[in-house]
Every structure is written in C-alpha cells, then in structure tokens.
Structure 1
Amino acid sequence: MAVNLQVQNSLIDIENLGLYVNGEWLTTLKSGTFKIKNPSTKELIAEVPKGGREEAKAAIKAAEAAFPGWKSLTAAERADYMLKLRDLMLEHQEELATIMSMEMGKAYNESKAEVNFSASFLTWYSEEGKRIYGETVPASAPNKRLMVIKQPVGVVAAITPWNFPLGMLARKLAPALAAGCPSVIKPASQATLSALALAKLAEMAGYPKGVINIVAGSTREISDELFDHPAVKKISFTGSTEVGKELVKKSARRLKKLSLELGGHAPFIVFEDADLEKAASGAVASKFRNSGQTCICANRIYVHRNVKKKFSELFVEKVKELKVGNSLDSSVEIGPLVNEGGLNKVKEHVDDAVQKGAEVLCGGNTSDEGNGYFYEPTVMDNITDDMKIMSEETFGPVAPIAVFDDDEEVIKKANDTEYGLAAYLYTSNLERAVLVSESLNFGVVGLNDAIPSVAQAPFGGMNESGYGREGGHQGIRDYLEEKFISLGI
C-alpha cells in the first residue's frame, strides 16, 4: 500500500498495512487499489487494496470460525482484550489523530478528542458485557423450571461512515466484542486508514484471528456479500437515509437483524429566557464541530424574536473567531470539507438561500486557505422555510437563523421534518424544558447541552433517521438472542 503519511515516531507501521482478514494483512489484490487524498491539500496520501465480494466472504468465514472460541471466553476475559485495545488507542492517540486528520480533514484537536471518545466505548462495554443477565420465570406447574438466557447472535457486520471513522467504529465494535460476536467491518473509503490503524492495534493486543476483520473497497460488492451470507446475523449501518432504506430491503431477504443510524436535520431552539452566552457557545460547538459534518449538528437555528438580535450578535462574534486551515495545524478549528461533492452541496445551499432573500452575516464563500475543500464558517439571517437549507441536511459549516414567536409554533417547525435524530433547546424555564423536550420527536435531545453523545447513554433516531440504539446498556441488545428454556423435573 503506497502511503505518504508523516506521523512522528509512529509505531503503527501503516505503510505495510492492507485489508485485515483472519489476522493477516492483504496488501496485494487482483482488483487493484483505491486512492485516499488529503482534503486539506488534495494530495494523494495512500493507495489501499480494493476489496470486494471475495475478501468479504473470506472475512465472514474467518469470523465464523472465530465465533466458538470468542463466545466461550468469560465476559471478564473478553473485557481484558477490550481494555488492552483501549489502552493502546490512548497510547497511540496522536498517531491515530494524525491519520484521521490527514485522510478525512478533521481538525487535529477534534481528532484527538475522538480517540478518547472511541476508547470510552471499549471501557463502557468491557463492564457492560459482565451484566448480560438472564432471568428465572415463575413456572405454571410444580414439575417445571423456566429460565431465559442471553447468547451472542453470531457473526456481525458494521458499515461505518467517514465523518467519525474511529468513534462510529468503536461504538459498533465494542458491544459486539462484549457480547461475544466476531465482526466484519466495512469502513468508508475516505476513512479507511483509521480503521486499519485500529486493526493494527488489535493485532498488537493479541486478539484471536478472525475476531476483528476490516474489509474496504467496493461498497456494493462488500455490502451484497454481508447481506447475502447466511453466517452474518446482524448488521449495523451509519450513513444516509437513502442508503438505509435500500439496506432494509436487502436485510429482508434473510431477515437479518439491522440497526440504522441515518441522516439528521437537527433543530436548535433558543427561547427568550435562555442564557444567550451559553446558547451561542453551544450553537458554535454543535454546528461547527467537524466543519459541520455531523449527523447531529445544529442545522436549523430557531431564535425567539425578542432575543434574536442579541443572540445573532453573540453568535456571529464567536463564529468569526474560528480559525480555518490545514487540519493538521493544532490551532485550527475548522478543517476542510471531505471532498468536492461536499463543498459543492454547501455552496448550493448558500446560493439558494441568498437567492431567496437570506442575508449573510459572516462567511458565505469558499476559503482561500490552501488548496483544499475549505468553506468559510457562515451565518445567515432572514431564513424562510422554502430554502433548501431548512429541509435538506447541509453537512457543512453553515448556520441559518430563523425567528419564532411562541412555543407551539417552534415545536411544530422543529418536528416538521422526516428526520428525527437529534434536537437542542436552550431555556432557563424548568416547565418549558420538560414539556418541549417531551414534545420533540427526536431520539436525542440536548437540553442546554450541545454535545450530548456519551458511551453510557443510548444514541439513535426516530422516523427516517433510523432505528436501534448504540451506547448505553441498550446498545448491546441487538448483539444478543434471548433463549427460553423450559425444564421438566
């Protein structure tokens, strides 16, 4: 694999990595390679072996062979492996962050924070695996004893996105490992190196062959094999709603367990009694994290008419302070968009809004930083519901501000979307906080909190944002089967 990655004192020998199947590195494939470019510079940084159906089949076979041995370990023994991987991730945090920043453009300090976030799932599920409790059930006759036990479903697959290449991988892998399920992971092409680096750490941690497999390349071929192969019992996918709907159809052929975290279009509501300083800081943190490329970032900012002017001034002041630049610069807060398509979509949404009467308060143009896919952090006012940015997920550093007059109106506007992943509200009124939180049709609600995701709480969407939950004790359920045993005595 040709690589141009400058990682100081690297112990992750990324130059000699390929696809990771059954504990072996596949560095040369007949299907050739695919390219990964640095979105900050557009420079080629790696050519990765292009896997397909054949490699996916080999990975599934390896995971199937590893299943009996992995599930037979005690929960404590599996936890030991998980904590070894966690410790190695933290030990190699700077290397992982550098790889992540170079391949998909996340600001370096955010990348370091993502390594910590990823490690937290291994910590949480190393303990949660010890709490997979069964139960006894009162019998209907004196000569019977009724029991319910929980067992791992078998081989599982994860299809992960590029925007959180380690965070989403760990959020899927950790409960699978804890439950006793070997995994086949298909990372996004734009973020394959991060996944392979994690596989290298798993190898260093001494994981048995076949427990963790990474297959990148042809999305269609790999996906088809994962859904067609009878040994794969459960699949977790994070990505677009359009692709998620197609995967539901695929899963029906073999009635596979499927969990989906799909698109979002999060409302961010600022009531007139809110602490405006906290609300403005929260809006910046939510909207501009990962250059606006998150499924749960604030996409529609609704501000009460009485405080809109003050909030907008505070918000714009903070946005103007954000530094744009090469993602490897530790002082940078806004890196590039992941590719030209992402940049073009942002430009399209801004142009559409301006043509329909929006006022640009700051930003509004591509950035002249370097040669990458940069767009200025942008705030727009005079936003109306007919603008694309109010109905489509922008996935970029653009914040539209709309006005509202009462609670009923803004709840209706917030819920007027096919998505239901995350929503935010800022208020100092306890009654309003409870009632509005309960009225928002979203799987995650940030109440005076712009960064709600944590390992110990469930994460997932409603409506067309998918189903199933990751994180918390709920996140391990889909990796388990419940078996009822009726014992006659």
Structure 2
Amino acid sequence: MYRSLSLYIDGAFIPADERTTRPVRDPATGTVIGALPLATTADLDRALAAAQRAFAAWRNTPAHERSAILRRVAELARERASDIARCITLDQGKPLAEAKGEVVTCADHAEWHAEEGRRIYGRVIPARAPHIRQFTVREPVGVCAAFTPWNFPFNQAIRKMVAALGAGCTLILKGPEEAPSAVVALAELFHDAGLPAGCLNVVWGEPAEVSRYLIESPIVRKVSFTGSVPVGKQLAALAGAHMKPVTMELGGHSPAIVCDDADIDNAATVLARFKLRNAGQVCTSPSRFYVHAKAYDRFMAAFLTQMREVRVGPGLDPATQMGPLANPRRVAAMQQFVDDARGHGGQIVTGGSAAATGYFFEPTVVTELPDHAMLMRDEPFGPIAPVVRFTDLDDAITRANSLAYGLSAYAFTGSTARATQLANTLQSGMVHINHIGAINPEIPFGGILDSGMGREGGAETFDGYLVTKYVTQV
C-alpha cells in the first residue's frame, strides 16, 4: 500500500482536509496512487512561525542531545527501510533494490552528522596585548529553507535535514511533489526520534510560488537547493537580492574519458552500469563519453553488451534492473535528444524509443556526434549515452572542460602520469579515476561553475549553516 501523504508543520501531520491536492502517479503505469495536499499561505506562515520559535531553543540545545536524535533517526531509517523503499519505487520508479539502498545508506548520513555536530569548534586567536582575549565561535545561521528533487527523494532531503539540524538550525523543506513519500517518511522518522516541534517542517505546493514566499520571508536566513541549473540560478538570484547565503547542488554533464591504456572491458562495464542507475536520472551520471580511437571498438563492444542486456521493467519486479523515467516530461526530453542527434548525423546504435505504456525509455547509445549536438551540450538526465572518439588526451580534456558544468568527471587509464594529469586538469568538483567513487557522508559533495556552490557532507558539511562570530574582551 502507498502511504498517506500530509504536510508536517510544528510537530503535527496535517492531512488534505479542504486543501487543494495534487495527484501522485506510478511512473511504471501512469496510474494515480495518491493525493498530495498543497500548503496554503496560512500553512506557510505557520511553518515560518514554528521554525522561528523553535530556533530560539534548538540553537541552545546541547550538541550531544541533537546528536542523540540524529542517531535515533538512523536507527529508525534502517528499521523501516523496506516499507519506505516500496513507496519510493511506487512514486519515483527506481528498482526496489536501488530504493532500499538509498534509504539504508542515508542512515549513515544521519550518523555522520550526529558525530560531526559534536565537533563544531571555535578557536582562540593570540592577541597583540597581554590584557586582551580574543576568540571565535560558530553559531547556527537561523531558519533555513530547503528545496529537494525527485530523483533521490530520500537522499537529497535527509542531507539537508541533518546538516541544518545538526548545526543547530531549524528547517522548512519543500520536497518533490511527484515523489513525496520519502519526505513524509523522513518527517515521521524525525518526529518519532523526538525532534522538538517546529524544528523540521515539510510543505508542498507550486514550486515557484512556495520558493519565492519562503525565500522572501525575513524569517528565513539561509537557502539550500538541489535541482536544475536554470531554477538554481533563479533561486540564487532571489536569495542574493535579500543577502541570504545559499548552497546550490545543480546539474552536471559529466565527461568520462577512457584512455587506450585503461582496462577497457572494466571501464565499459562500470560506466554502463552506472549510466543506467536510476534510469540515468542522476546528476553525477556519466553523460559524455570520450574514448581513445585505439580502444573505441573494444569499448563499444563491451559497452553495448551491458546496455542491451539490462532488464527494463516496473521497479517492484525483482528482475528489473532499470525502471521507468519519473514523469512523462523526461520521456519527451529523451525523444528530443534522439531527434536532435539524428538531425546532426548521429547514429542510434541501440535503443532510441519510448515504450507504449508507462514512462519507459530504452537504454540508448549514440555515436558519430559533433560537439555542438544537443546531447553533447545539454545534460540528458536519462538513459542516453553519446560516445565519441579522441586521439589526443589534451584535446579530450579541452572538450571535457568546454561546458559550464562542473559537478563530476570520470577517467580511466593505466598510467599514473595520465591519472595525475586528468586529476589536475579536469574542471570539476569531483574527479573519479578508474572507478565510480562512492558518495559517502564523509565525502564533500558538490560542484563548481554552473553546477553549484557549497558542499554537502565531509568536514565542510556545516559550513553553509554556520556563521563565525569574533569576540574580543579586555
């Protein structure tokens, strides 16, 4: 059964009642499986007031008490992973094993922040006179507004929750209306873990209207967003107009460079499998493949085998390896990429078509594309892989760095010198050499250029939620 959906404001779960609702659909079938209540202006005002009131107490709650709550969230997430995952598969579409993996690994994020939150330290600064004492303290920025996407609905939301709450901030979060069950489940986890009322509030609504209302509120002091580059720029501009700091985790168009001295079969297998994770709807998904001409034929043989053999189907089917796209807009976008590729002389080597029912699209490989084709310029965010040749590594790096994206990059080589060159020259927030690096909670996740600013995870995880105060006294 799909879970009942609600708002969560000031410690209370609020059903639809007389509110407007939005249908939630199963992307495998297109059928309606739930109704999501949308927040009224009064609901948003109540959430703002609750977060402001709760901040006065939560900021002064001892770090070890905040830590205990986050630890309990991690325990509950593991206990409830199967039920939460099933609902994620129903409204987002990814295979059940992927959904459960998302929930279980995210319990680590709660535990990491539980521990790091106990280590938010200031420092003593030696003074130039013996009678002066000067030091810094780090304090929570205040009430935060966060906006999270549908591709990893549990992962993206919990990252922002544990960072804000672990730092001593309170939070209003608007999750994805198309895949809301994970965020409602998270509210239940924090509620049952004993989080005080008002520290976390969950609202739903028209994205542009809710984001503007929250960001423009003088109560909100910090904005965090994960999503597309165009929307991220709009929200950053809006926040900037009110001098509010932002954390932006935006899109990517990740290059993957395969040198001729690499383990070619391994590179092809690893890249193909990661490419089709969550049907390619991953911001760090490899999405531009540059393969050395000497290795091209061998790479393509292994890569196509992996892409063609993947089992596509409903996420609840245990045999499914790739589920549907999350919504019909993504299906239309995939078709647009395919049509543009054909118009630029690209060869559709495999795939290229949508299914008759549901929001499925075949794993697709395109070759012989010029660099100005849409698929080489714009993030596809789906199961389409363009593969092109290169003969000179410097040229491949230049092409990889030619776009304004800078989230993640991948390279495969057997040479230590080349690996160092690639690590030093690829312009990206994250560079992975000879494997797909795991994004664990101790890793600083984030991009550069149009792919965003700030980091989630790692030692940097609280930086965006704290302000530094300098104190001097005689």
Does the residue aligned with 2:208 lie in a helix, a strand or coil?
A: helix
Query: Counterpart of 1:347?
Result: 335
* Whole-Å separation in 2 of the counterparts to 1:441 and 1:466: 13
The structure-2 alpha-carbon separation of the partners of 1:485 and 1:428, relative to structure 1 and needing over 3 Å to count, comes to same
Q: Report whether the alignment pairs 1:444 with 2:465.
A: no
Query: Counterpart of 1:482?
Result: 468
Cα RMSD, aligned residues only: 1.3
Q: Report whether the alignment pairs 1:389 with 2:366.
A: no
Does the residue aligned with 1:425 lie in a helix, a strand or coil?
A: strand
Structure 1, 107-116 or 25-34: larger mean CA deviation: 25-34
Taking every aligned residue pair, what percent have the same amino acid on both sides?
A: 37
Q: Is the 8 A contact 2:265 2:298 kept in 1?
A: no
Does the residue aligned with 1:474 lie in a helix, a strand or coil?
A: coil
Query: Counterpart of 1:420?
Result: 406
1:33-432 counterparts in 2 under 5 A? 33-367=21-355, 371-432=357-418
Code of the aligned partner of 1:200: E
CA deviation after TM superposition for structure 1 residue 30, in Å: 4.2
* Whole-Å separation in 1 of the counterparts to 2:93 and 2:420: 38
Q: Is the 8 A contact 2:145 2:215 kept in 1?
A: no
Does the residue aligned with 2:460 lie in a helix, a strand or coil?
A: helix
Code of the aligned partner of 2:405: Y
CA deviation after TM superposition for structure 1 residue 366, in Å: 1.5
Code of the aligned partner of 2:459: H
* Whole-Å separation in 1 of the counterparts to 2:385 and 2:461: 32
Q: Which one of 9, 22, 25 corresponds to residue 13 of structure 2?
A: 25
Q: Which runs of 4+ in 1 moved over 4 A?
A: none
* Whole-Å separation in 1 of the counterparts to 2:319 and 2:244: 45
Q: Is the 8 A contact 1:263 1:419 kept in 2?
A: yes
* Whole-Å separation in 1 of the counterparts to 2:53 and 2:358: 44
Deviations 1:53-86 (A, max 9, x none): 3322211211111112222222111111001111
* Whole-Å separation in 2 of the counterparts to 1:367 and 1:313: 25
Query: Counterpart of 1:435?
Result: 421
Deviations 1:251-275 (A, max 9, x none): 1232111111111111011011111
Deviations 1:435-480 (A, max 9, x none): 1111011111111122432210111111111111111010111111
CA deviation after TM superposition for structure 1 residue 29, in Å: 5.1
Q: Is the 8 A contact 1:93 1:112 kept in 2?
A: yes
Does the residue aligned with 2:178 lie in a helix, a strand or coil?
A: helix
* Whole-Å separation in 1 of the counterparts to 2:145 and 2:296: 46
CA deviation after TM superposition for structure 1 residue 192, in Å: 1.4
* Whole-Å separation in 2 of the counterparts to 1:331 and 1:59: 43
Deviations 1:168-214 (A, max 9, x none): 11111111111111111100111212101111122222211011110
TM-score (norm 1): 0.95
* Whole-Å separation in 2 of the counterparts to 1:18 and 1:454: 30
* Whole-Å separation in 2 of the counterparts to 1:198 and 1:465: 26
* Whole-Å separation in 1 of the counterparts to 2:451 and 2:432: 17
Code of the aligned partner of 1:261: E
Does the residue aligned with 1:400 lie in a helix, a strand or coil?
A: strand
Deviations 1:18-47 (A, max 9, x none): 100001122135441111101001010111
Does the residue aligned with 1:344 lie in a helix, a strand or coil?
A: helix
- Structure 2: unaligned runs, 5 residues or longer: none
Code of the aligned partner of 1:337: L
Code of the aligned partner of 2:454: G
Q: Is the 8 A contact 1:446 1:452 kept in 2?
A: no
- Structure 1: unaligned runs, 5 residues or longer: 6-13
TM-score (norm 2): 0.98
